[in-house]
Structure 1
Amino acid sequence: MDTATPASGPFRPPVTADPTSAPFSSQDAGAQQTPGLRIAGVLAVRPVLILLLGLGLLAANLSLLYANALVVIVDLLALGIVARAMHAEGRRLRDLLGPWRWVDLAWGGLLLVIVVVGFLASNVVANLIVHGGAPPSPQTTPSIPLWVGLVGFLVAPLTIAVSEEAVYRGYAQPRLQPALGRIGALVMVAVVFALQHVGFALTSAPDIAAKVLTTLFAGLLLGGLWLWMRRLMPLVLAHWGLDLLLGLPTLAVALL
């Protein structure tokens, strides 16, 4: 059975002997032999659906900020795809998350600090590469209804966190490891994770580049944290907290 390797020093992630709490068990032959086409299908669902969502909003002459709320539909569809993939292995979707433990709150808080700092650093570096500094200020403030702001702040952060962590770190990354190795799987998942954000930034090529680079660096961080923790729930909690912060600007625009 695959168990987490404890980190040295005072910050030691919880070690579990419960095979259902680990996203990937070395004794689970079905998981080790997951068909590549199935993994590719799970990885592709979010990038494709979010791109279609963004293109649809532009075709309807609506702000891409609508995607911050409508992405909830994508999240639910992606979770359904993961559930079907897990069912094909004789397992359930909740097996990716593992049993709830109150200590996950503490670990989630610690990871939230790491993720927020890492995301801010990723954003700064990406904008330096693309814009040579801070991104240009938008010429106009888009107008969006209040429901978009409320859903984008109150609902979407949770569904995004659960869906993205289930798809990328929970399902795909450990199943790519036997073929690609730890680093190869980490990089592959981070690249797809970054590409899914193209649909949120279709207004200009620099916006797309900055968004992809920011989320690429963030995806590498999230994948690295999964390798360290080997438990998904603390990472879901940290991701949820980050997206709550990222949902504040959408809510603020809706309240204007």
Structure 2
Amino acid sequence: MRCVGLARVVCVATAIVASGSFSIAQTAAIDPPPVDDLSGGTRPEQLLLFGGFDLWRNSLAGYGGLQWAASDLNSDGFIVRLLIADSAERYRTPTTTFTTNIFRASLLPGWRFKRGEFEIKLFAGLDLEHQKPMPDVVGARPRGMTPGLRVAAETWLEPVPEIMLATSFYVTTIGSGYGARGAAGWRLCDRFWIGPELSGSADEFSRQTKVGVHLTGLRIAELEWSVAAGYLNDSYHRSGLYARIGVLTRQ
């Protein structure tokens, strides 16, 4: 069954990332689906595989990756995360529609700490980004492959068994980018969390803000699903509805 779960999530992640090269717009920097510790038979595992996509009317992005723990995913200690994303950014002028295909990858060693019902993960590592504008814009920057450094943090808190609070934050030297997300959730039927979320991101070119509702930690067979939807606006005076879906499995 574990091999079946692995095959499923790899197929989903591969299809999603492959589809990103045909996408029409870029979303904000992507976080892996939140990981929760709902009761009901979860076994300690060392490997987390994840994939998903994020979209709105000007955006479609796919991503996939893995997280490995030296001991197990529920214990303190060394962890490392690999994330790969493929997306594009579309911007319309009265005469031209510009699309920039963007490939991102990050390799982030880190450490997990847990004290009672509070958990924090800290990461720092290599960031890579490749941009290809279409039509080509002479003098546009950045162009081609750009290396950088990324620092990230994630927290998870259950102040009472029925409530969760989650946050994430990152900063990267590529484009002086940074972003953050906060979410609260209520546990329903000991099967998933549902509640509001707020996120934002910015770099030297643009800013983006999202307000919505998320459902996190819905387990179906070997896979764990998360979805979100809400309202988005950016510094180009564009706005609309957004949607996000993620899937993960433990091995």
User: Structure 1 length normalisation: TM-score?
Assistant: 0.23
Structure ranking higher in strand proportion: 2
Question: Higher helix fraction: Structure 1 or Structure 2?
Answer: 1
Bigger RCO of structures 1 and 2 (CA < 8 A, at least 6 apart): 1
